[in-house]
């Protein structure tokens, strides 16, 4: 296990270093000069030149990369060109909001996708199965932006039962916080829920028809014990893998959701930074996302090896 852990950790570090290069080159490849993008209508050549000089934007790219990477190693992601605030502080102030949104969206997806997927598999070919299939298809097909606006119109404008937008920190007012999270969570979680539904359904159908389930039934176990204790347990590997991969997608999906519902999270920080070409913030956010993505995958791999020891054994045997 420890060798497996060390190998995966080493691979993760290499992936992270490659990510810094990709992030840096990707950001510098964006057309548009931060100083000009930042100036809006107030174009003042001398002020723009000062911004370039202050942030080292007029230096050769390798020098800029080395300077960035040398301070990044110390945990300092630089200073935002737009606001003058430390990038680390900006990210850390936004992360709890996005994690709350992504976490609740993930929970919503599990609560909606898992039981529906199981029910559709167990009642395969019935109306419930067709209904679940339709729900899954709709969840996957509806564009986030459209769904957000429609939900605002229905629940905030017509029915007036939920607020249209905004964010209140949980510790400040838990009720308001959750009220304002309902619509964004549905918007962000519906696609993931649909994916889970479809995957769980197909995984469960496969498991329910397998020999070990037939054996379990032959041993006289109840249908509930067979479904939950045997078929579902095996299908959970798929669920964990999808959740791990989709958590990154949830964070990137929060870009649109946070913009519609005016939630001051990570997603809106990305939008603002990209639109103003705020290089230090874009790089910081991208690197932070890469770290999170790699860490989640690392965690998923470990969990996977726990759930299915063959994975671990297979890798050490190589």
- Residue 287 CB, nearest approach to other proteins (Å): 20
**Nearest CA-CA partner of 34 in 84, 81, 78:** 81
Residues near other proteins (CB under 8 A): 30-33, 36-47, 50-51, 54, 82-85, 90, 93, 149, 152-153, 156-157, 160, 163-167, 259-260, 262, 264, 268-269, 271-272, 275-277
- Residue 53 CB, nearest approach to other proteins (Å): 10
- Residue 36 CB, nearest approach to other proteins (Å): 5
Q: What token pair was written down for 121? A: 């598999």
CB-wise, 242 or 281, nearer to other proteins?
A: 281
CB neighbour burial string for 99-124, b if at least 16 within 10 angstroms, e if fewer: bbbbebbbebbbebbbebbbbbbbee
- Residue 50 CB, nearest approach to other proteins (Å): 4
CB-wise, 13 or 47, nearer to other proteins?
A: 47
User: What string of DSSP letters covers 73-128?
Assistant: TTT---B-TTT-SBHHHHHHHHHHHHHHHHHHHHHHHHHHHHHHHHHHHHTTTSHH
Residue at token pair 């996302």 = 289
CB-wise, 117 or 280, nearer to other proteins?
A: 280
- Residue 173 CB, nearest approach to other proteins (Å): 15
Alpha-carbon distance of 318 to 303, in angstroms, equals 20
Cβ contact 91:266 at 8 Å: yes
CB-wise, 216 or 263, nearer to other proteins?
A: 263
- Residue 239 CB, nearest approach to other proteins (Å): 34
CB neighbour burial string for 210-242, b if at least 16 within 10 angstroms, e if fewer: eeebeebeeeeeeeeebbeebbbebbeebbbbb
CB-wise, 58 or 225, nearer to other proteins?
A: 58
Cβ contact 167:88 at 8 Å: no
CB-wise, 138 or 262, nearer to other proteins?
A: 262
- Residue 219 CB, nearest approach to other proteins (Å): 57
Q: What token pair was written down for 85? A: 């605030």
**Nearest CA-CA partner of 144 in 194, 200, 198:** 194
CB-wise, 160 or 211, nearer to other proteins?
A: 160
Q: What token pair was written down for 160? A: 């007036």
């Amino acid at each position: 296990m420890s060798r497996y852990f060390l190998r995966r950790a080493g691979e993760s570090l290499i992936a992270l270093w490659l990510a810094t290069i990709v992030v840096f080159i990707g950001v510098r490849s964006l057309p548009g000069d931060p100083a000009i993008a930042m100036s809006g209508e107030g174009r003042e050549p001398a002020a723009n030149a000062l911004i370039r000089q202050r942030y080292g934007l007029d230096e050769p790219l390798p020098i800029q990369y080395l300077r960035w990477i040398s301070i990044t190693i110390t945990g300092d992601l630089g200073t935002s060109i737009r606001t003058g605030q430390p990038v680390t502080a900006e990210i850390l102030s936004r992360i709890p909001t996005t994690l709350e949104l992504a976490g609740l969206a993930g929970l919503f997806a599990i609560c909606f996708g898992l039981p529906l997927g199981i029910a559709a598999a167990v009642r395969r070919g019935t109306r419930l199965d067709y209904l679940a299939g339709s729900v899954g298809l709709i969840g996957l097909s509806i564009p986030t932006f459209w769904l957000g606006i429609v939900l605002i119109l229905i629940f905030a404008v017509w029915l007036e039962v939920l607020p249209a937008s905004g964010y209140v920190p949980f510790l400040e007012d838990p009720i308001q916080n959750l009220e304002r999270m309902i619509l964004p969570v549905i918007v962000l979680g519906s696609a993931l829920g649909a994916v889970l539904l479809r995957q769980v359904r197909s995984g469960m159908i496969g498991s329910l028809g397998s020999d070990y389930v037939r054996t379990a039934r032959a041993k006289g176990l109840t249908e509930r014990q067979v479904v939950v204790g045997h078929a579902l347990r095996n299908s959970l590997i798929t669920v964990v893998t999808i959740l791990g991969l989709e958590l990154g997608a949830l964070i990137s999906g929060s870009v649109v959701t946070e913009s519609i519902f005016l939630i001051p999270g990570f997603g809106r920080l990305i939008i603002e930074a990209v639109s103003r070409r705020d290089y230090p913030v874009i790089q910081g956010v991208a690197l932070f996302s890469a770290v999170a993505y790699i860490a989640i995958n690392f965690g998923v791999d470990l969990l996977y090896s726990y759930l299915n020891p063959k994975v671990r054994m297979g890798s050490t045997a190589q």
